């Protein structure tokens, strides 16, 4: 019997479980709960006779939903403790007030950076890196397996790093803690591999929702960045876990958002120009931010191993110096300062400086290998940049009446969309955090511009970039989203010159096709399609069936047909066994739009590949 907690060799799992098309949510796998292990022979250890799961598929689904609630509860509790741990560490290490020119600001992140490095290298090696990518890896590669030790390690090291002033956020670790708890619970309950795999995003959504205190954004993020597609089988569980974790967090920490939002709104439509400018600036800032991380991270990791003991400390030293010299705001997650920025408590020059320094500080912290996430720093940079742009625009054009808070809030969404490359989540995050739908237009305008600029200048999203640097090959969900879908209309040929009619006599058909060869389509009456080859026609004529109607003598009737908008992927199933498939109009099945064959499909794929 295998110990559920024992480490798993990823290579073995990869070989044993690689899904048909690389996605755990393909159409074959998607109704995994519904089919359950009893319907399909499986090599899964827990679907064998010793599995406790002897329930019907419906009851299994219900149980899984119930389990999602418990995952949400436990993740919520863990995140509450995590946040307290960060706060406690910060007060204890840095003091209750971050004041410049205090020696603690330099000493603390340096010394703690050294300790964190030791822990990461020797005790918790898996906590290094992005929690989002590790959860994706668990989902796509390790069958939902995330060691419980990762949760513990992430909790301790991230609390120390963020609490000591490293410029990182608690959301990413929270997401991983949630996923890790869910995975551990699933293994303890000896769930099947399919279910275990689904638990990781469920836990991730719970962790993120608890960290953000925003369930909708968390669900969307997990769908957009981790799972990659809307799947009914998982959506219910993800939503339930996110909601239950948020309930727990609100129970203990209150329902207030992470920062207080003053009155925000779009005063006049001309202000959209100002928000468009913010989108451009935010998009460029996101590119700089992503490129800096993408450039320095592999280089620092390539340095001799002994330097890795000192990298977080060196990052801490520089960040501490920034704080010591007058910008302690860049230390830690920085939610308090986002709150202050929203309340007009910095001039636009200070805001711009803070945005720049935060990019530097976060890049240093992240590339040094200090555990922590980039969500909060992204929001911080966005808020500061938004506030700065708003302040500058107001100074130049006093007629612009938008508040700094509105610009800061839109700026958060802008960076979220452009840096993390989650456009949907970015919009909903701003709306959910602000609770105000009046700014949806500026948010959409700015986010779209920022996203397009970022995508144009930095084609690989940050999470994919990190994945590739780590040597993993996880599906890029943005690439999937943006991939051009090939359809039948892209590969079909025009209708053939000769289309026979079922009412024609065989003799007439032979006469019409006498100079032609190959397969002819036959329009059946009253509907449907058939086919006949030139050889078959000749044979029928030879058998003395010349006066009979073609319809009564056909061997191939009820030919499958396609429509122009059907994807080539779906069309492949039909063209495989049939030499020529009619492509017909959706409103009139007798109207032939074209024909398609297996060769046409393959040729199209080949051409696309070459392009």
Binding site residues, other proteins, CB under 8 A: 52, 55, 59, 63, 66, 70, 73-74, 77, 80-81, 84, 87-88, 91, 96-97, 99, 189-190, 248, 252-254, 256, 260, 262-263, 336, 339-340, 343-345, 403-405
Least CB distance from residue 49 to other proteins, whole Å? 12
Angle between helices 404-415 and 423-434 (to 10 degrees): 150
Least CB distance from residue 166 to other proteins, whole Å? 19
Q: Cβ closer to other proteins: 403 or 553?
A: 403
Q: Cβ closer to other proteins: 63 or 310?
A: 63
Least CB distance from residue 119 to other proteins, whole Å? 22
Q: Indicate the SS3 state at residue 23.
A: coil
d(CA 25, CA 597): 29
Q: Indicate the SS3 state at residue 505.
A: strand
Please confirm whether the linkage preceding 51 is cis (ω < 30° from 0). Answer: no
Q: Cβ closer to other proteins: 254 or 269?
A: 254
The pair of structure tokens assigned to 159 is 């609390």
Least CB distance from residue 262 to other proteins, whole Å? 4
* Contact in structure between 529 and 561 (CB atoms under 8 Å): yes
Q: Cβ closer to other proteins: 82 or 520?
A: 82
* Contact in structure between 24 and 139 (CB atoms under 8 Å): yes
Q: Cβ closer to other proteins: 262 or 298?
A: 262
Instruction: Please name the residue that has the structure tokens 């608890």.
Output: 210
d(CA 93, CA 113): 12
Least CB distance from residue 257 to other proteins, whole Å? 11
* Contact in structure between 508 and 174 (CB atoms under 8 Å): no
CA distances for 414 relative to 42, 386, 429, angstroms: 46, 9, 11
Least CB distance from residue 253 to other proteins, whole Å? 7
Strand 519-523 to strand 499-501: parallel, antiparallel, or no bridges (unpaired)?
parallel
* Residue 521, beta-bridge partner list: 499, 531
Q: Residue 521, exposed/middle/buried by CB under 10 A (0-12, 13-18, 19+)?
A: buried
Other beta carbons within 10 angstroms of residue 535's beta carbon come to 11
Q: Cβ closer to other proteins: 66 or 498?
A: 66
Least CB distance from residue 72 to other proteins, whole Å? 10
Q: Cβ closer to other proteins: 18 or 84?
A: 84
Q: Cβ closer to other proteins: 69 or 126?
A: 69
Least CB distance from residue 98 to other proteins, whole Å? 8
In degrees to the nearest 10, what's the CA dihedral of 177, 180, 181, 183? 160
Q: Which residues contact 150 (CB under 8 A, 6 or more apart)?
A: 124, 126, 127, 134, 176, 180
Q: Cβ closer to other proteins: 263 or 273?
A: 263
Least CB distance from residue 52 to other proteins, whole Å? 3
Closest CA to 455 of 443, 464, 468: 464
The pair of structure tokens assigned to 329 is 């705001």
Q: Cβ closer to other proteins: 106 or 405?
A: 405
First vs last C-alpha separation in the chain: 51
Least CB distance from residue 92 to other proteins, whole Å? 11
Task: Show the DSSP H helices in 506-597 as ranges.
Answer: 506-512, 534-542, 550-553, 568-575
């Amino acid at each position: 019997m295998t110990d559920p907690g024992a480490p798993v060799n990823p290579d073995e799992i990869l070989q044993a479980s690689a899904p048909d098309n690389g996605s755990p949510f393909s159409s074959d796998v998607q109704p995994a709960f519904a089919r359950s292990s009893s319907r399909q022979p499986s090599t899964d250890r827990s679907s064998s006779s010793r599995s406790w799961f002897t329930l019907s598929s419906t009851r299994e689904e219900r149980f899984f939903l119930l389990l999602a609630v418990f995952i949400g509860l436990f993740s919520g509790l863990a995140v509450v403790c995590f946040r307290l741990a960060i706060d406690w560490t910060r007060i204890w290490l840095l003091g209750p007030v971050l004041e410049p020119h205090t020696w603690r600001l330099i000493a603390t992140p340096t010394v703690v950076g050294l300790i964190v490095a030791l822990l990461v290298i020797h005790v918790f090696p898996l906590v290094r890196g992005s929690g989002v990518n590790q959860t994706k890896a668990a989902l796509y590669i390790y069958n939902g397996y995330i060691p419980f030790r990762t949760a513990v390690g992430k909790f301790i090291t991230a609390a120390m790093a963020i609490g000591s002033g490293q410029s990182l956020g608690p959301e990413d670790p929270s997401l991983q803690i949630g996923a890790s708890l869910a995975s551990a619970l699933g293994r303890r309950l000896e769930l099947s591999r399919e279910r275990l795999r689904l638990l990781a995003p469920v836990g991730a959504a719970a962790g993120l929702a608890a960290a953000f205190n925003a369930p909708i954004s968390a669900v969307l993020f997990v769908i957009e960045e981790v799972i990659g597609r809307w799947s009914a089988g998982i959506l219910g569980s993800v939503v339930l876990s996110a909601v239950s974790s948020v309930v727990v967090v609100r129970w203990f920490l209150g329902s207030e958002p992470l920062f207080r939002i003053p009155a925000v709104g779009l005063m006049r439509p001309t202000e959209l120009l100002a928000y468009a400018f913010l989108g451009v600036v935010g998009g460029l800032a996101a590119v700089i931010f992503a490129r800096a991380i993408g450039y320095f991270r592999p280089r620092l990791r390539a340095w001799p191993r002994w330097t890795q003991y000192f990298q977080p400390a060196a990052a801490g030293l520089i960040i501490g110096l920034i704080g010591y010299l007058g910008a302690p705001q860049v230390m830690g997650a920085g939610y308090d300062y986002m709150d202050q920025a929203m309340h007009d408590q910095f001039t636009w020059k200070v805001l711009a400086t803070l945005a720049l320094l935060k990019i530097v500080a976060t890049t240093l912290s992240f590339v040094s290998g200090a555990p922590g996430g980039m969500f909060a720093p992204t929001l911080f940079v966005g808020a500061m940049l938004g506030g700065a742009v708003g302040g500058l625009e107001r100074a130049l054009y006093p007629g612009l009446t938008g508040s700094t808070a509105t610009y800061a809030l839109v700026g958060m969404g802008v960076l979220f969309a452009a840096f993390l490359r989650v456009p949907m989540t970015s919009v909903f995050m701003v709306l959910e955090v602000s609770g105000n739908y009046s700014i949806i237009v500026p948010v959409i305008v700015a986010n779209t511009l920022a996203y397009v600029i970022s995508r144009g200048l930095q084609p690989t999203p940050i999470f994919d970039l990190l994945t590739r640097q780590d040597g993993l090959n996880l599906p890029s969900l943005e690439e999937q989203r943006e991939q051009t879908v090939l359809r039948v209309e892209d590969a079909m040929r025009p209708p053939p010159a000769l289309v026979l009619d079922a009412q024609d006599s065989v003799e007439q058909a032979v006469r019409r096709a006498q100079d032609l060869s190959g397969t002819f389509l036959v329009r059946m009456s009253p509907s449907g399609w058939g086919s006949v080859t030139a050889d078959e026609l000749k044979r029928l004529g030879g058998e003395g069936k010349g006066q009979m109607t073609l319809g009564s003598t056909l061997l191939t009737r009820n030919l499958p047909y396609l429509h122009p908008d059907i994807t080539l992927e779906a069309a492949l199933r039909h063209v495989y066994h049939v030499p020529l498939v009619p492509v017909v109009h959706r409103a009139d099945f007798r109207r032939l739009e074209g024909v398609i064959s297996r060769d046409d499909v393959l040729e199209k794929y080949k051409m696309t590949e070459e392009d």
